[in-house]
Structure 1
Amino acid sequence: MLGKLLRKVRTTVLRIALWLLKGLNARRARRAPGPDTGTVRILLLHAYGMGGTIRTVLNLAEYLARGRDVEIVSVLRTSEQPFFDIPPGVRVRFLDDRTTTPGWAGRLLSRFPGPFVPGEENAKSSFTLWTELRLIAYLRSLRTGVLIATRPALTVMTALFAPPGVITIGQEHVTLGTQSPAMRSLFKRRYGRFDAFVTLTEADREQYAKLLKGDPPRRLLQIPNAIPELDGCISHLDEKTVVSMGRLVYAKGFDRLVNAWKTVAEAHPDWVLRIYGRGTEERRDRLQARIDDAGLSDKVFLMGSTAHVGVELSKSSIYAVSSRYEGFGMTILEAMSRGLPVVSFDCPNGPREIITDGRDGLLITSKKAAALGEGICRLIADEDLRRTLGRNALITATRYDLDTVGARWDALLADLQR
């Protein structure tokens, strides 16, 4: 009974707040300056963390900072130093700095969950009431410039609270098909407020076009991530090593890759698999147990995270992708940029838009682990094919260099300034 009453009160308060916000926006709209794309702010959950989204956003920020004032706005700070280098000329601002002790208001409000980030969002546990209020205050403080939000928790807040006069762009790094019905319903209600919404793959753009057809954003388009500058050299493709990279989570399917390696180990016992990526202790222990149970302890190695992605890729000869789904597949391009042929499950959404089967890699249409293993074995046994695919992979990677992809962002910003 009490819980039902509290939910009703919460709903009423939110409706009043949104009504007041609508009135404030109407006043702001009458006095809003003209569009300005010379200042770009990019919202990240935690700029000092480790992950594909963070790395690719920093890469984009580096390009945009060549001719613009660019600031990364990190909602959280949980570590003293960044995992990735911050590009020169790019500032970083933190809204909820958890490396320091907040004042009494921050301590009090951090005990409560916030009302605006939906419970279905994976990052919900990272947001407290204090975090949400800090983000809202920041959004309402803006007067002009471009604001790019990079994950659902940030896109839904930006669409709701960013004031008139600010050019808003939503950028999605995870495929729409992985979102819950509740999240998709929220996107449908709010994303029409964006000046532009950018997906990484054409398949995802088409899905969003169907979802938002009743109230689309001003621009809905696909722009892939650009390959960041990597260390290391082009692989000679003569190491008896296959590599795979990604967080140790269900989506990456490393359990399937271990199963696939049973097929590889039987046919080519002198080859090894190295898996790079960080995960919870529980997930790592579970995956290691699978490796041990399969008798592959001397064939498959969990290497942990690395800041030297290019070096590790250049020391291998094949890149394997066992994902159940991908938002894009940044590591595929990174592997290609080091001349590696890629063997990948043909999973939604990214691999099939990057890899041309039989030209620069192999797409495995079967979902069976053994089929992935057979694809790897094919490249191990056929050195000429491995080298041909590797050469073509280098050509494919050039379509995703920073200048090529950055020019598409230039064109979008120029379009939005009109």
Structure 2
Amino acid sequence: MTDHPQRDIFFVSNSVDELGGVTSWSHQMARLFTERGHRVHVVGITDPDVPQELGELPYPTTTLYDVRPPRVRSASGLRGRIDVVEHRRRAERAAGMREQADRLTGLLRGARPGGVVIVTQVWAMEWVELADTDGLTVIGMSHESFAYSRSTSRFRRVLKHYEDVDRMLALTREDADLWIRQGLNNASFMPNPLPFMPEVPSPRTENVVVSIGRLHDQKGIDMLLDAWSETAPLHPDWRLRIYGSGEDEEILKKQCTALGLDDSVDWMGRTNDVPGALRGGSVFVLSSRGEGFPLAVMEAMAAGVPCAAFDCAPGVHEIIRDGEDGLLATLGNTGELARRLDTLMSDKALRDAMGEAARVNVQRFTTDAVVRGWEELFAFLER
């Protein structure tokens, strides 16, 4: 017997199987809710450019579009208003959106009372707005920090499309407060759950620094390489293993060669065995320009691997307790990040102490605690 009502929960994202942390989070939460007896359906708007392998899923998924909707330019200015081809493209896109929103409505109508729609990315909210969500709780999410969102086109879209949802969720209280100051009085926060807790932590015996993430500007691998160019000469017996793939792979490898780092950097490609990758490392590094509540950091800490990271988001300094279970550097200061790496690489006793502290401290984000928080939020919003 459960102590919570069984609900129909819909996750609506840009894509069901898009490569990236939002997709991983969505399917982790979908599995957790399914295990708690809820009925889950994961909905994507389109197929992604770069998919990830999901394996067999214990819940249904639906992708609304068979073909990606046409891209349109802004209609501002005289030229935009009289561009016949562009006008036709916008009309085609609008008609397609209405059609797919009707399809989404058909899925939502099967929900029992108390149903919830969780919109994980603001682009997807444009279709949810057009659908009939009457009688359902609608929650909109931003999986990045306020500061990083503000540097993108998503910032204005969050303010516009999440204004009337039942709750807008950031990942930290600090970010939620910043959204409230922008007028989103429905803003609150919910942290990400710990992805896994391996029974056996990393032995931290290999002279390896691990990075895991997409090879994309946001992840700052270019800055990591600059930092590594300062650290590597001090530790010729250490290696940097970079796990991930993405559109910046070629230019990053050229940068690596230009910096003379080819003999100390291993490009590992994508991995489906994150615990295994972390077991082979003694230090984890996060060099991102922006994050929300980074799963990779939580995974490393769960594996007992201390982190050196740019303090690029409230979620980072909420997870890592600087000087206790990891070390933080000022965003963009590659020299400082290099010094943080050097500190951990030079002192095995410090690595071991911080790694063990990380493994203990990160358990405050257990899946049970986070799922209960979600269920309490559902009950509160239903009143």
1:260-299 matches, within 5 Å, as 260-280=227-247, 283-299=248-264
Q: State the TM-score, normalizing by the size of structure 2.
A: 0.85
Counterpart for residue 347 of structure 2: 382
* 1:301, distance to aligned residue in structure 2 (A): 1.8
> Could you tell me whether the CA contact under 8 Å between 1:39 and 1:70 is conserved in 2?
yes
> Partner of 1:408: helix, strand, or coil?
helix
Cα distance in 2 for partners of 1:79, 1:347 equals 27
Cα distance in 2 for partners of 1:210, 1:346 equals 22
> Partner of 1:350: helix, strand, or coil?
helix
Residues 359-368 or 58-67, more deviating: 359-368
Q: Tell me the number of residue pairs that the alignment of Structure 1 and Structure 2 aligns.
A: 355
Q: Which blocks of at least 5 consecutive residues in structure 2 are unaligned?
A: 75-91
Cα distance in 2 for partners of 1:346, 1:414 equals 34
> Partner of 1:259: helix, strand, or coil?
helix
Matched, 1:229 2:199: no
Cα distance in 1 for partners of 2:152, 2:22 equals 23
1:312–1:75: structure 2 CA closer, same or farther, 3 Å change rule?
same
Q: Deviations over 1:137-194 (max 9, x none)?
A: 1343334521111111012442454432121011111223334686544433442321
Cα distance in 1 for partners of 2:159, 2:269 equals 38
Matched, 1:255 2:226: no
> Could you tell me whether the CA contact under 8 Å between 2:16 and 2:62 is conserved in 1?
no
Counterpart for residue 212 of structure 1: 183
Counterpart for residue 318 of structure 2: 353
* 1:82, distance to aligned residue in structure 2 (A): 5.7
* 1:77, distance to aligned residue in structure 2 (A): 3.2
1:300–1:128: structure 2 CA closer, same or farther, 3 Å change rule?
farther
Matched, 1:322 2:322: no
1:370–1:73: structure 2 CA closer, same or farther, 3 Å change rule?
same
Cα distance in 1 for partners of 2:152, 2:17 equals 31
Matched, 1:60 2:29: yes
> Could you tell me whether the CA contact under 8 Å between 2:195 and 2:295 is conserved in 1?
no
* 1:374, distance to aligned residue in structure 2 (A): 1.2
Identity %: 30
- Letter aligned with residue 280 of structure 2: K
Cα distance in 2 for partners of 1:38, 1:413 equals 9
> Could you tell me whether the CA contact under 8 Å between 1:41 and 1:71 is conserved in 2?
yes
Cα distance in 1 for partners of 2:367, 2:349 equals 30
Counterpart for residue 79 of structure 2: none
Matched, 1:72 2:42: yes
Cα distance in 2 for partners of 1:181, 1:247 equals 18
* 1:277, distance to aligned residue in structure 2 (A): 1.2
* 1:233, distance to aligned residue in structure 2 (A): 3.9
1:206–1:115: structure 2 CA closer, same or farther, 3 Å change rule?
same
Q: State the TM-score, normalizing by the size of structure 1.
A: 0.78
Cα distance in 2 for partners of 1:152, 1:366 equals 26
Matched, 1:148 2:118: yes
- Letter aligned with residue 388 of structure 1: A
Q: Which blocks of at least 5 consecutive residues in structure 1 are unaligned?
A: 1-35, 99-109, 117-126
Counterpart for residue 305 of structure 1: 270
* 1:366, distance to aligned residue in structure 2 (A): 6.4
1:6-405 matches, within 5 Å, as 38-65=7-34, 66-77=36-47, 83-88=53-58, 90-98=59-67, 112-113=70-71, 132-141=97-106, 142-143=108-109, 144=111, 145-159=115-129, 161-177=131-147, 178-179=149-150, 183-213=154-184, 216-217=185-186, 220-229=187-196, 233-280=200-247, 283-365=248-330, 367-405=332-370
Residues 249-258 or 155-164, more deviating: 155-164
Q: CA RMSD in A?
A: 2.6
Cα distance in 2 for partners of 1:111, 1:357 equals 45
